[in-house]
Structure 1
């Protein structure tokens, strides 16, 4: 015979104060575990969503970031003239020769300096990024000392609001527009005219070249042609993959730190769950003896106490996950270890994270409740009835 599920639930309700306290401890651990996964997912999604599936990034061979790359004008001209590059309605290649530079701006709230990415884009730069749209003001004029700022930058940095001015590259630059990049990495950048930025920073080479392929399936051949051309020292990567690679170092750091904290906290939570279940066994010795006398097997007793512990963990897991879901309302900023610029991103909850988190909670309940459940199952019937 199996012990009814309703009987197990009533036992938890009877000891509702102890149940609530233990579930709260488990919820804290689950909250930490879930937020780490959400932070990693938010970071990954922010950087991956920065790239377009049809776009290809050309950078100097062995350069991990655009900041470290250099593409001279001759090589850029050869690359964009490749027959695989799509042509626009004006008959020109759909390509943007770009300059990426780091500058230092002070934050509005704390007045502390932080690195910000300045991206110089070509005439087709905006068209190659359909997720980027102007939300206020207008686009900068080619040849002018004008810039547009990402939504995240405008909120957090002094001088980056529309109509304000920022000084860098020995010039005053006027912010003439704000743009929204759909929570991608571009939200943490300032854009301007590539040629003007190159003059301001006295640079003779581009940082990267972005091209749109006429046929996305032709990328392998395009990559082979570019990397085998003796005139070029360039490497071609799909734009999504290029930006996804930027997240690896930071994602690894967050993952290791978060998982370390989760393991430490989970040990404490499992000990707490075990103490709760041991106390439950001790207070219900007579009840266990009665169940055994009524014909319930040791396996049924073991299963009942294990289910009780896992229900306790599931309640804590659901509470912790619910609290973690509210973290999606917050925006987090940190330094991108690849570019050393500030990157803004948010927490993101997915179905896979929900499943992983609840499984983690159930695992804590199973581990914490196994030994107490085993003790309950092994109680001799006569000794248990004497304690009643």
Structure 2
């Protein structure tokens, strides 16, 4: 029966070559860091947009439109929509519904002074009530019919002239910032809200972009509403749950980031694998007599191969843990990008999940396995007699 090579032997060899081991693990850590941050960015974008919507709300858009800025609902259509069955009522018995206009406007960023698109949303009187996750943290709500706006926290932090008490110019008017709201790190944090009628006039729009409403029965109300829309030829409108709508908004951008970043990580991983392979081949060359001694003592080839693979996997695991720890620090970083669906600025944060951590560590171990298998195979195939004579 062959004996198992002790684990302390594997660890001792890594310690003896600690400088080389640290450099090899560091290269793998950089690759894992890149791989993990790409997945965290994709997840951050997805979670930011998905969290924006409520399953109790329904977004109504023009048939064929896949974004609010490309949608249009005429006033007469919006009036009909307000009378459809299945809509929840507020305390005054009115339909819980908000007719909204959504446009883009270019503002200068505070740090770089470079222009970027910001989403301007004209809210109806019940628009705030339909978004329970949004709360004013500074100032007050805008007054209907006045050139006043409230801005999301990300807009207040990132754009010039968007702080409380300042003035913004768009739509041919001067608008005063009278409040700052916190939308719980959702897409609304990157928006500016004002009165829907005044924004429609200012931007010369003759149709609403969307209609947002609350269902009286969230479980069964959507099919009833969709049937009513299909039965009325005057309404060329589609209905989607708000959470589903924002989930679809996230797909294109998150998938692009994930594919591009993963491709870069794979390219970088080739260098890390080559580095690990060189390190392990050097270890085999330096320990030829030692390997021959192990074989002469009765350790079979499979045990020697396993010991060298274990060294490579330990290096990759150490690099993976270091890269993952570094990537986890990115969760405190605020970042923004352009939403491909709306072409507006979207603020989000990196998000590390257990699934991403597991994928990153598996990726590191695969690099270690690929980089260590050939050197380990060479070590296991060394001739005992020739190995013992090596260096003599």
Do these two structures clear the TM 0.5 threshold for a shared fold by scoring above it?
Answer: yes
Structure 1 gaps, min length 5: none
Residues 227 and 236 of structure 1 are in contact (CA less than 8 Å); yes or no, is this contact kept in structure 2? no
Which residue in 2 is equivalent to 1:262?
265
- From 359, 363, 368, the equivalent of 1:360 is 363
Who is 2:29 aligned against?
27
Counterpart in the other structure of 1:146? 148
State the match for 2:135 in structure 1. Answer: 133
Residue deviations 1:322-345 (CA, integer Å, cap 9, x gap): 111111111111111111111111
The two structures have a TM-score, normalised by structure 1, of 0.98
Residue in 1 aligned with 2:352?
A: 349
Distance of 1:301 and 1:78 partners within structure 2: 78
Question: Per the alignment, in what secondary structure is the counterpart of residue 41 of structure 2?
Answer: helix
1:225 CA displacement:
2.8
Runs of 4+ in 1 over 6 A off after TM superposition: none
More moved, 2-11 vs 225-234: 225-234
Alignment pair present for 1:375 and 2:375: no
Q: Deviations over 1:243-278 (max 9, x none)?
A: 121222222321222112101100000000000000
Equivalent residue number for residue 237 of structure 1: 240
* 2:130 aligned counterpart, secondary structure: coil
1:4 is displaced (CA, Å) by: 1.6
Counterpart of 2:332? Answer: 329
**Match of 1:379, SS?**
coil
- Measured against aligned partners, the alpha-carbon deviations of 1:78-133 in whole angstroms (never above 9, x if no partner) come to 22322211111111111111110111111222222111110011111111111111
Q: Over residues 293-325 of structure 1, what are the superposed CA-to-partner deviations in whole Å (9 max), with x where a residue is unaligned?
A: 111111111111111101100000111111111
**Which SS does the other structure have where 1:117 is aligned?**
strand
Q: Which residue of structure 2 lines up, in the alignment, with residue 165 of structure 1?
A: 167
User: Is the contact between residue 44 and residue 251 of structure 1 (CA under 8 Å) also seen in structure 2?
Assistant: yes
CA displacement 1:178-230 (0-9 Å, x = unmatched): 00111101010000111111121222211001111112111233223323431
Which position in structure 2 is the counterpart of 1:99? 101
Equivalent pairs, count: 388
1:252 corresponds in structure 2 to: 255
Which digits, 9 at most, give the CA deviation of each residue in 1:149-205, with x for residues without a partner? Answer: 011111111111110111111111111000011110101000011111112122221
Q: Tell me which of 303, 308, 313 is aligned to 2:311.
A: 308
* Distance (whole Å) between structure 1 residues aligned to residue 281 and residue 232 of structure 2: 71
Q: Choose which of 295, 298, 302 in structure 2 pairs with 1:299.
A: 302
2:69 partner SS: coil
Measured in 2, the distance between the counterparts of 1:142 and 1:212 equals 21
Cα distance, 1:8 vs structure 2: 1.0
Aligned-pair RMSD on alpha carbons?
Answer: 1.2
Partners of 2:230 and 2:23 lie apart in 1 by 61
Q: Is 1:290 the equivalent of 2:293?
A: yes
Out of 152-161 and 28-37, give the one that drifted further: 152-161
SS at match of 2:162: coil
1:63 matched residue in structure 2: 65
Report the equivalent of 2:207.
Answer: 205
CA distance in 1, matches of 2:363, 2:148: 51
Residues 382, 225 of structure 1: CA spacing in aligned structure 2 closer, same or farther, 3 A cutoff? farther
Question: Which whole-Å deviations, capped at 9, do the CAs of 1:57-98 have from their partners, x for residues lacking one?
Answer: 100011111000001122222223222111111111111111
Q: 1:279 to 1:140 in 2, by over 3 A?
A: same
Q: Which runs of 5+ in 2 are unaligned?
A: none
Q: Distance in 1 between matches of 2:261 and 2:193?
A: 34
The question of 1:276 aligning with 2:279 is answered yes
**Residue 191 of structure 1 corresponds to which residue in structure 2?**
193
TM-score (norm: length of structure 2): 0.97
SS at match of 2:245: helix
